[in-house]
Structures are given as C-alpha cells and as structure tokens.
Structure 1
Amino acid sequence: MVGILLVHGRSRPLFGPVEMKEQWLVALRGGFEAAGLEVPFADEDVRLPWYGGNLSHLVGGVARAEAERVSLRGDLPRDEREFVAEVVRAVAAELAFTPEQLDRVTDPADAGAREGDWGRVRTVLAAVDAYVPGMSGATVAFVARECFGYLTDARLRQMIDDGVAHAAPASGPVIVLGHSLGALIAYRVLRSHPAARSWDVPLLLTMGAPLGWPPVIRALDRLETRRLPAAVGSWVNVRDPRDAVTAGGVDGTLLPVGTVDEEAGVVNPDDGRHAIEYYLADPLVAGHVAAALER
C-alpha cells in the first residue's frame, strides 16, 4: 500500500496534530469527491508529523495578534528584517501593485518611505490586505519569518527534519504533500536527510509553497546544491497566483525549467487564498494524488 505523508505549515490557534490531520483528510476526501473519484486510502495510511509547537516563537508567540504586531513593527534582528523585506519586494513585483494603489494604503507615518525602508514593507503588506481578496499581508510576513527561522536555526531545522523523516512509513512507496513552510521542509528532508535516501516517492506535491522567494533560494544554496531529490519520481507544485506566498513558483526559480510540473491555475475562494483546506479540496490535487496512488 502507498502511504501518504502530510507536511504542515503554521498551525492555527488551538490546533494540534489530531485536529490538523482530520482537517487535511476531510479536505482531501472532498477533492476526491469533487473529481468523481473513489477515496483509495484509509486514515491509517496517512501520517502527519507534528512540530507546530516549535514554530510559534519564530513569529513572536502563539497569539496571532502579537505575531502580527511583531511583524508589522519590524522590530527584528537585522538579518531577519532584511530577509522579510526582500520577500515583500518579490511579492510586490509579482502582484504588480501600481504607485496609485500603494499611495492609497500608505499610513501617514510611512509617507515618503523608500525601497528598503520598513515603512515601504508595511505599505506593501497593507496593499496585500486591500487588493488581494482572501490574502493577508500578515500571512506573507508570518511565512517569511518561519522560513528564515527554519533556514538559519540549525538545531531547530534538524529537530523538525528528523521528526518528518522518522514519521514516514518504514517500507513501501510514500506520497509527500507539503503546504506553505511544509513545502520547504518536505523538499529539504527529501533532498538531504539520510533517512530519505531509501524512500520511494512517486509524487511530491507542494501547495502554497514559498520556494520561489529569492532569499529562500539563496539560503538553500548555502545548505546544499539545489536539485530534484533523488527519491522523487514527479514533483507537482500547485498554486493560486493570488496566493502571495507562491510568488515566482518553483519551476525555473528553485529548479531548472522543466523539472517541476507547475499547476498555477488553481483559484481558491476569496476567504482563504493560502488556506490548505482549499488547496486539498481542489479536484486537480485529487487527480494528481489518485494517479500516483494508482502507479
């Protein structure tokens, strides 16, 4: 039997591993039903390694309001601040905000802020809130800071990678699904972890992946040579173009053109462009998982 490994991003408040797995499975089954496909897996075939408790300190605490205040203040160490600012510049370029749009959402305290100033970062995040239904600037900042923490804290990275690697089935093929920060973690584990060298992964499917962000790519370059993980038969990257976390995609940014199958036609509802439940409930995702399970 083919196993399924779910690699998550930031947890919602009050969510734990049981609740998150249930949410993912309900959404994935909904995608199979929408595609007119039978659900060919049981709950016990699906594993979700849990590291949500290790992520809260990366964005300033468990409470969303406090994390948002930390992010918008920009009261961060210099290297983290520069990382987030570069991510925000890439997002602004991808979403192509006009000067007039930015002027309309600029706080008076940030008027006249230049490229590279934190006031400019706040303005772009406010533009995401104003002009991209279902997407928030806080989400962009959260994910950027999570990526920075994971990529620069070797102890945290090793702890998370070990947990993901050891959660995989001991034998047989496994499909790996990664969302948001989980997409970055899934790539790293498959690319570098010793335990993953013997895996058989017919499909790596990433959703809402921040793998096209320039500072993420540079940080990965400092850790290892970028390439398709040897265990992976096929990599599909699914994204909603209005999900700002996915700016740049994966094919042609992280990896050479033609390496990754980019599925950029997903349109998630306006109440959650980056939401995992909408990605998983898309019939396109179900089709790719079903095809891999059949193989």
Structure 2
Amino acid sequence: MTRTVLYLHGVGERVRGGRWRATLDRALSGHGLAPLRPGEDLLVPDYVDLLAGDRPLPAPPVVGPTYDAARAAAARAVFMAERQRLADALGAPGGGRHLVPSPVYDAGRHAWGAVSRSMRHVEHYRRDPALRRLVLDRVLSALDARARPASGDHDEVVVLAHSLGSLVALDLLPHLPAGVSVPRLVTLGSPAGWPSLHRGPGRTDASFPYDRVGSWVNLHSPRDLVPLGRGSARLFPAALDVPVRLPPARHGAELYLGVPVVARVLADVLGAADRGALAAGAAREAG
C-alpha cells in the first residue's frame, strides 16, 4: 500500500532542498523504503512567506470542520487502544508526564517567547486568525492538487509536522478533504504542550477527529527549548509522547529525523518490509 507523506514545516525553515529531506530519505532507506518523490508520495506545502510577512493579506473565508463529531466520539476508544499498543511497542510513558516543573516551565516559556524571533512568529500564528486561514488554505490546496484515488477509495496521508507545523497539523485535521484520512500524525519538537497557544475556540480534545486519524506520536527532546520538556498528552490525550535525545538546545527537523526511533515510527506506517519496526529496540533509542 502506498501512502502519501504531508510534511508541515516550522518557522523560517528551508523547506526546498533542506537537510531534512536527505535525512528522511536515509532514515527510510534503513527500513528498505525508497526515497519519497516530491509531488507524488511527498507533499511539502511552503508557507514560510506567510509566517514571515508583516503586511495584511487577504484571507479566505472561514470554513467549518468537515468531520462528524458523533462519529469521532464513537471512534475514540479504538484510537486509544491503538495508542496503548504503540506505547507498549515503543516503551513510552503513557501519562503525558512533564519533565520540567510547572513554575520553571512557565518562567522559561515567557522568557523564551520574549527573546526568540521564531517563538514570536508562533505567537503571531496563534493570535492572527487570518494568517491561520491563509496557511490552512495553502495546505489544503496542496492536498487538493494531487490526483484523488478511484471513486470509493480513501486517500491515506501520513502527516509529518515539525515545530510550528504541529499546530498547523492540529488546525488541518478537523478540515481534511472528504475521503482523506491520516493513518498516523507524527510531530517533532512540537510546542503544542504550551496551553497559551490554544486559547479561544479551536484546538481541543473535543475537536480531534478520532474517526479520521489512526494514531498520533509526538517525539520531543527534553533539551529542546521549544517543547521545553513538555509533551502534548496532558492537553491532547490523543498524543503519545515519546522523549528522544538531541544535543542541548537543538531543534532542527533534520536532527529529529536522524533519531532511530523516529525512523521506526515512520517506517511502520509507511509499509516497511520489516514489520517489526516498532519492536523493543526502539525503546532503547528513546531519551
């Protein structure tokens, strides 16, 4: 089975020709998978210009969610059973623990947000609904531009999101085009554990489309200043938090994609010949 990967980038990232692409190809080749082909089985919408822009832009109209809340609620138990299976296979903690005490976390979050240009862009994305609509429209256009499967078939898209891209992913999931499902959401270095980024209507457990997403694995380094030692599971029970080991204060997508357990999580859902991709060896590679 062929599944498309949708890559959602972070702030200011070199999306075209960035090192993340070469690292991803090497990671998948280690499990017998061929390199992903841009425009075919790899979609990379580029919204760097929107995040960096400082002038008003016309925004598309507000579009309502496309998922059915009742079906999503009914599918939650099956989703959580799959989450537990992944937790057991990866040796991951199941409770969404916080590795940084709350007072330290709160102080660090505010300080980092004040001095970091990237985090100011994240705050801009949070506060500006027109910007969020523009980014979502560009991502949906990338999904709509590819050939749809035969009538009656489903289009399966693995969403791989780095940093701010994880917030874009959470905004995307309730608005997936008809017939599109996400067998796995993989987030890297996500700031989604910051409660202040979700103020107002929108991203909540109640809005998560459990019927259209198969699993969510959130990989974060406790030494990465963006997640700041926090996973996402306490705010979003759908997420399975898996700590990984990166050098101190490093955050790049290519670094996350170079961690063996990340390759295992991706290879497992992309149909690697090695069906034991999530076996016990991955637990030893987690931080």
What is the 5 A alignment of 1:158-173?
158-168=133-143, 169=146, 170-171=148-149, 172-173=155-156
Change (3 A) 1:94 1:41: farther
Question: C-alpha distance in 2, partners of 1:225/1:201?
Answer: 18
What is the 5 A alignment of 1:227-242?
227=206, 228-230=208-210, 231-242=212-223
Does the residue aligned with 2:27 lie in a helix, a strand or coil?
A: helix
In the alignment, does 2:15 pair up with 1:9? no
What is the 5 A alignment of 1:70-89?
none
Partner residue in 1 for 2:28: 32
In the alignment, does 2:160 pair up with 1:185? no
In the alignment, does 2:126 pair up with 1:151? yes
Question: C-alpha distance in 2, partners of 1:91/1:142?
Answer: 25
Does the residue aligned with 1:4 lie in a helix, a strand or coil?
A: strand
Change (3 A) 1:137 1:154: closer
Partner residue in 2 for 1:47: 43
Deviation of 1:95 (Å): 9.3
TM-score computed with the length of structure 1 as normaliser: 0.64
Which string of whole-angstrom CA distances, capped at 9 and with x for unpartnered residues, describes residues 218-270 of structure 1?
Answer: x2x42354343342100000000111211321111x213xx221111x11134
Does the residue aligned with 1:18 lie in a helix, a strand or coil?
A: coil
TM-score computed with the length of structure 2 as normaliser: 0.65
AA at the equivalent of 1:19: G
8 A Cα contact 1:29 1:281, kept in partner: no
Aligned-residue CA RMSD (Å):
3.1
Change (3 A) 1:199 1:28: same
AA at the equivalent of 1:222: P
Does the residue aligned with 1:222 lie in a helix, a strand or coil?
A: coil
Deviation of 1:6 (Å): 0.4
- List runs of 5+ in structure 1 lacking aligned partners: 59-89, 98-114, 126-135
Q: Which has the higher contact order (CA 8 A, sep 6+)?
A: 2
AA at the equivalent of 1:276: A
Larger Rg: 1
In the alignment, does 2:240 pair up with 1:261? yes
Does the residue aligned with 2:161 lie in a helix, a strand or coil?
A: strand
Partner residue in 2 for 1:86: none
Deviation of 1:201 (Å): 0.7
Which string of whole-angstrom CA distances, capped at 9 and with x for unpartnered residues, describes residues 71-97 of structure 1?
Answer: xxxxxxxxxxxxxxxxxxx99856949
Question: C-alpha distance in 2, partners of 1:211/1:156?
Answer: 18
AA at the equivalent of 1:38: G
Question: C-alpha distance in 2, partners of 1:4/1:278?
Answer: 19
Change (3 A) 1:223 1:211: same
Question: C-alpha distance in 2, partners of 1:95/1:27?
Answer: 36
- List runs of 5+ in structure 2 lacking aligned partners: 55-97, 150-154, 273-287
Change (3 A) 1:251 1:52: same
Count of residues paired in the alignment: 215
Question: C-alpha distance in 2, partners of 1:162/1:8?
Answer: 15
Deviation of 1:156 (Å): 1.2
Which string of whole-angstrom CA distances, capped at 9 and with x for unpartnered residues, describes residues 89-145 of structure 1?
Answer: x99856949xxxxxxxxxxxxxxxxx99xxx989x55xxxxxxxxxx985xx33432
In the alignment, does 2:117 pair up with 1:142? yes
Deviation of 1:10 (Å): 1.3
Question: C-alpha distance in 1, partners of 2:103/2:250?
Answer: 14
Query: Taking every aligned residue pair, what percent have the same amino acid on both sides?
Result: 30
Deviation of 1:29 (Å): 2.0
